[in-house]
Chains A and B, each alone.
Chain A
C-alpha cells in the first residue's frame, strides 16, 4: 500500500484555554506511599476512558465500560493505522471533530463521537495498556523507552497539556468519567515519582 500521509491539517489546535493543574511534587514519599499512589494511578490507567485508546499494534480502539455493553473493538471497522490517527483509512477527526469553542458543552449528546480541542488519536503503540495488569502497566510507565522518554515531571506535564486526557474526567454523553480528579491523578504521579516509581510485585 502506498500511503501519502497528509498530516499538515491534523496538527493540534493549541490555542484553547483550559483548566491548568498544579504540579508540585512532595518533598519526600515513602515506598509504601508510592505504591499506594500507584494503585490509584492504575485505577485511572485501566479505566475505560483511558484504556480504550491505549491499545497496541492492533491499532483498533476499544469500546468497553459501563455505557458500552460488552467489550469489543470500536464499531464501524475503525483502524487507526500506523499514524494512530486513521490517516491511512478514516481519520479519527472525521467524526471526533475539533472543538475549540464552548468546550464545556462539547460532549452533551449521548452516543455522539467525543471531541476535544485537539486532534483525536490513539495513544502511541508502546503505551499499550488495554487489559494489562497493574505491574505490567507500571513497568511500562516507568520505562523511558515506553513512556515517550518522560521523567515524572514530564509525565505530569503531559497530563496537563493533553486535552484528550482532560476529557477523560469530563467525558459527557452519559459516559462514566475516569476515577478521582485530574489534579488528584497528577498528585499521585508525583508521589509515585518521588518515591522512585515503585511497582507492585507480580
Chain B
C-alpha cells in the first residue's frame, strides 16, 4: 500500500484496517503523533489529511483514499515554522508536551476554517484535545496569537 506523508511517498506492507497512527509510528517511525486512547477521546494522535484535522487512531489506512497526510514533523515549511508553532513557542504552551503535537495540528486546521476565532470558538474547537497538564489557558492565548500572525502574513 502506498501513502504520502509530509510530501514523501511511502510503500508499506500492512493490512488495510490498520489505523493510520500505527502505520505512522510503527511502520514509518514518524512519532510526533502520540497514542493516548485509541478511541477518539483525547486528540493526541491528530494529523492532517488534505489539510483537515483527523484523529489518526480512528482512520483505517485503507480509507485514506489517496489523501495526503501531514504530521507535526511536516507542518513547518522550508521558510520557517508554521504560525501556530511560533505562537506556541512564544507562549511557552507545552508542559510535559505529550498532547502538544495534537493540539498544534488541531489549532492549525481550525484556523484555516475560522481565521478570527473568539474565546468560545476556540473552546469549541479545542475541547476534544485533552491536556493532562492543564495548559488550556496558554493554548487559548496561543491560538489567538497564531490567528493574528496568519492575518498579518
**Which A residues contact B (CB, under 8 angstroms)?**
1-6, 9, 13, 76-79, 87-91, 93-102, 105, 109-113, 115
Task: Determine chain A's interface SS by DSSP, over half rule.
Answer: loop
Pairwise interchain contact A113-B58, C-beta atoms closer than 8 A: yes
Q: Mark B35-55, 1 if CB is under 8 A from A, else 0.
A: 000111100001000111111
**A101-B16, A112-B40 as given contacts; A77 in contact with B124, CB under 8 Å:** yes
Report Cα–Cα, A110/B60, bound state, in Å. Answer: 16
**A101-B62, A102-B17 as given contacts; A4 in contact with B124, CB under 8 Å:** no
Stretch of B26-34, B93-101, B110-118 with 4 or more beta carbons under 8 angstroms from chain A: B110-118
Interface presence of B145 (CB below 8 A): no
Contact of B121 among A76, A89, A98 (CB under 8 A): A89
Closest 10 CB pairs of A and B: A77-B127, A89-B124, A76-B128, A95-B40, A112-B39, A113-B40, A89-B125, A97-B59, A79-B124, A97-B58
Pairwise interchain contact B62-A90, C-beta atoms closer than 8 A: no
Pairwise interchain contact B52-A9, C-beta atoms closer than 8 A: yes
Shortest CB-to-CB span from B30 to chain A, Å, is: 19
Interface presence of B65 (CB below 8 A): yes
Shortest CB-to-CB span from B38 to chain A, Å, is: 8
Shortest CB-to-CB span from B111 to chain A, Å, is: 10
Pairwise interchain contact A89-B60, C-beta atoms closer than 8 A: no
Residues of A within 8 A of B38 (CB): 109, 112
Shortest CB-to-CB span from A92 to chain B, Å, is: 11
Residues of A within 8 A of B39 (CB): 109-113
Residues of B within 8 A of A76 (CB): 127-128
Pairwise interchain contact A99-B127, C-beta atoms closer than 8 A: no
Report Cα–Cα, A101/B17, bound state, in Å. Answer: 8
Interface presence of B73 (CB below 8 A): no
Pairwise interchain contact A93-B54, C-beta atoms closer than 8 A: yes
Pairwise interchain contact A112-B110, C-beta atoms closer than 8 A: no
Residues of B within 8 A of A77 (CB): 123-124, 127-128
Pairwise interchain contact A6-B63, C-beta atoms closer than 8 A: no
Knowing that A98-B65, A109-B39 touch, tell me 16 more A-B residue pairs with CB under 8 angstroms. Answer: A1-B117, A4-B113, A6-B52, A9-B50, A9-B51, A9-B52, A89-B125, A90-B125, A97-B58, A98-B63, A100-B62, A101-B17, A101-B62, A102-B16, A110-B39, A111-B39
